[in-house]
Amino acid sequence: MAVTDLTFLNSFAGGNSEKINKYVNLFIQHAPGMVESMDGHLSNKDYAALKTTAHALKPQITYMGIKTAEDLIREIEQNAGENKNLESIPQQISKLKTILASAYSELKQVVENP
Q: Give the Cα separation of 22 and 62 in Å (integer).
A: 16
Torsion of CA 36, 43, 48, 101, to 10 degrees: 30
Please provide the average confidence, as pLDDT, over all residues in the chain.
95
Q: Tell me the pLDDT tens digit for each residue of 55-85.
A: 999 999 999 999 999 999 999 999 999 999 9
Give the CA dihedral 50, 53, 58, 60, nearest 10 degrees: -150
More confident residue, 110 or 103: 103
> In the chain, where are the structural domains located?
7-112
Is the domain spanning 7-112 CATH 1.20.120? The answer is yes
Residue 106: half-sphere exposure toward Cβ, Cα within 13 Å: 15
